[in-house]
């Protein structure tokens, strides 16, 4: 086990593509860090540099305190799990797991112990004699995990290991990976483009875009204090509602709507009379009739477009007379989070007691103490 430190890691490919730019990151011993971001943001490249599969253009990588820049992959004592787990088809599950140990001259008894331990941890004990072809997708993925576990490495590096599995299996394996990582306490870096996977797995989540690290924080902090509009839109499902507004004395105006701004917001002083972006999480809106909210400046008068009954709660997609924020950041994040264009209107997550009906007006109470503010030009969070 080991901490992993990245110091100003940069990767420029021979064709001039700058895939990773001055990435700084300190990962603690035993920590689970997830790299998440849109396709092409550089997360795989970053992981491959740590594994030693990609040369580092600039910067320093340390694993367990040792600079590994010039160490070949096999000497870095890390185990990779890939999306295409590429098991040897002619070998049994057991041999697939034991193979790397054999190459390292681990004695037979020790090989058997490690493989059997991993197999029982992964629920593979009964299928160890089977060839990959005769295993289910989930079992194959477990064998690939087992192959990494038996090596007892200093770190696991996982690149979208679940993306070949169907949705249900993915969620199940996700829980297993979390459990195994906790049990073994092996430092783990996990790459995914799926924000919900990132949020459920990571002790901390690193959001990347265009080769740069935008924010590194525990899931809760990422959710409650996104550093910019990109992270705000990208993290959370359904996504944050983002509306253009102007701020004046303690209020925000969005078209004909006016909301009070609760709490001290010193950062907003510089924006008086200017346009900003306001962010409202769907769960910070409630049907005013249910919430018993009467303050006019904590209510949005809206019209229900779609009512989606989820059983435990209701998603109310609504329209208001205000301009949605549609900067490049927000559009890119929405596309990446696969938010369908017709779902990109505003949404509230209200109580199932709400009687809001499609086509009808609805009054939505806003948690005005939980509003998020962003600079429209730079996209940066206003503290």
Give the containing element (helix H, strand E) for 49: helix 43-51
The reply on whether position 338 binds ligand ATP by CB under 6 A is no
Q: How many residues does the chain have?
A: 383
The reply on whether position 209 binds ligand ATP by CB under 6 A is no
* Interface segment toward ligand ATP; rule CB under 6 A; list 39-47, 87-95, 111-119, 277-285: 39-47
Q: Which of residues 229-268 bind ligand ATP (CB under 6 A)?
A: none
* Interface segment toward ligand ATP; rule CB under 6 A; list 37-45, 109-117, 317-325, 358-366: 37-45
User: How many angstroms separate the CA atoms of 171 and 239, rounded?
Assistant: 20
Residue 12 burial (C-beta neighbours within 10 Å; 0-12, 13-18, 19+): middle
Residue pair 158/190 in contact (Cβ under 8 Å)? The answer is yes
Question: In a 3-state reduction of DSSP, which class is residue 171?
Answer: helix
User: How many angstroms separate the CA atoms of 129 and 292, rounded?
Assistant: 63
Of 2, 41, 158, 276, the residue at the interface with ligand ATP (CB under 6 A) is: 41
Residue pair 50/5 in contact (Cβ under 8 Å)? The answer is no
- The smaller minimum CB distance to ligand ATP, of residues 30 and 40, is found at 40
Residue pair 347/316 in contact (Cβ under 8 Å)? The answer is yes
Q: Which of residues 156-195 bind ligand ATP (CB under 6 A)?
A: 193
# chain residues binding ligand ATP, by CB under 6 A: 13
Q: How far separated are the first and last CA of the chain, in Å rounded?
A: 37
User: How many angstroms separate the CA atoms of 109 and 112, rounded?
Assistant: 5
User: How many angstroms separate the CA atoms of 298 and 295, rounded?
Assistant: 5
- The smaller minimum CB distance to ligand ATP, of residues 45 and 187, is found at 45
The reply on whether position 84 binds ligand ATP by CB under 6 A is no
User: How many angstroms separate the CA atoms of 52 and 46, rounded?
Assistant: 10
- The smaller minimum CB distance to ligand ATP, of residues 25 and 41, is found at 41
- The smaller minimum CB distance to ligand ATP, of residues 193 and 281, is found at 193
The reply on whether position 88 binds ligand ATP by CB under 6 A is no
Of 6, 27, 33, 44, the residue at the interface with ligand ATP (CB under 6 A) is: 44
CB atoms within 10 A of CB 16: 6
- The smaller minimum CB distance to ligand ATP, of residues 142 and 170, is found at 170
Tokens 């002083």 -> residue:
269
The reply on whether position 55 binds ligand ATP by CB under 6 A is no
Residue pair 50/61 in contact (Cβ under 8 Å)? The answer is yes
Of 31, 43, 347, 365, the residue at the interface with ligand ATP (CB under 6 A) is: 43
- The smaller minimum CB distance to ligand ATP, of residues 157 and 325, is found at 157
CB of 45 to ligand ATP, least distance (A): 3
| The pair of three-digit structure tokens given for residue 259, joined into one six-digit string | 């909301």
CB of 206 to ligand ATP, least distance (A): 12
Of 40, 64, 73, 324, the residue at the interface with ligand ATP (CB under 6 A) is: 40
- The smaller minimum CB distance to ligand ATP, of residues 39 and 312, is found at 39
The reply on whether position 294 binds ligand ATP by CB under 6 A is no
Which of 144, 244, 160, 243 minimizes the C-alpha distance to 198? Answer: 160
CB atoms within 10 A of CB 360: 11
Per-residue contact flags (x/-) with ligand ATP for residues 17 to 36, judged by CB under 6 A: x-x-----------------
Instruction: Note the residues at the interface with ligand ATP (CB under 6 A).
Output: 13, 15, 17, 19, 37, 39-45, 193
């Amino acid at each position: 086990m080991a901490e992993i430190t990245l110091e100003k890691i940069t990767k420029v490919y021979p064709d001039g593509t700058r895939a990773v730019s001055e990435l700084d990151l300190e990962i603690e011993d035993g920590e689970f860090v997830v790299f998440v971001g849109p396709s092409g943001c550089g997360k795989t490249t970053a992981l491959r540099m740590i594994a030693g599969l990609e040369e580092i253009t600039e910067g320093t990588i340390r694993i367990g305190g040792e600079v590994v820049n010039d160490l070949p992959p096999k000497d870095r004592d890390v185990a990779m799990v890939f999306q295409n787990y590429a098991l040897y088809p002619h070998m049994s599950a057991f041999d697939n797991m034991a193979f790397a140990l054999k190459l390292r001259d681990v004695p037979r008894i020790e090989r058997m112990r490690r493989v059997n331990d991993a197999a029982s941890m992964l629920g593979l004990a009964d299928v160890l004699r089977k060839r990959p072809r005769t295993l289910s997708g989930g079992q194959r993925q477990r064998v690939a995990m087992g192959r990494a576990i038996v090596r007892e490495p200093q770190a696991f590096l996982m690149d979208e290991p679940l993306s070949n599995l169907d949705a249900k299996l993915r969620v199940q394996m996700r829980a297993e990976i979390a459990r195994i990582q906790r049990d073994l306490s092996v430092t783990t870096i996990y790459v995914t483009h799926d924000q919900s996977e990132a949020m459920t797995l990571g002790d901390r989540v690193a959001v990347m875009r265009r080769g740069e690290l935008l924010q590194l924080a525990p899931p809760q902090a990422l959710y409650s204090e996104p550093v910019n509009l990109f992270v705000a839109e990208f993290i959370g499902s359904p996504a944050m509602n983002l509306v253009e507004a102007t701020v004046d004395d303690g209020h925000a105006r969005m078209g004909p709507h006016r909301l009070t701004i609760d709490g001290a917001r010193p950062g907003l002083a510089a924006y008086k009379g200017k346009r900003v972006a306001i962010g409202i999480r769907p769960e910070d809106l409630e049907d005013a009739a249910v919430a018993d909210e009467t303050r006019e400046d904590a209510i949005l008068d809206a019209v229900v477009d779609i009512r989606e009954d989820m059983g435990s709660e209701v998603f109310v997609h609504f329209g208001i007379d205000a301009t949605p924020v549609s900067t490049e950041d927000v559009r890119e994040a929405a596309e990446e989070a696969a938010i369908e264009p017709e779902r990109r209107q505003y949404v509230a997550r209200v109580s199932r007691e709400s009687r809001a009906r499609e086509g009808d007006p609805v009054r939505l109470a806003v948690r005005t103490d939980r509003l998020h503010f962003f600079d429209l030009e730079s996209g940066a969070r206003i503290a």
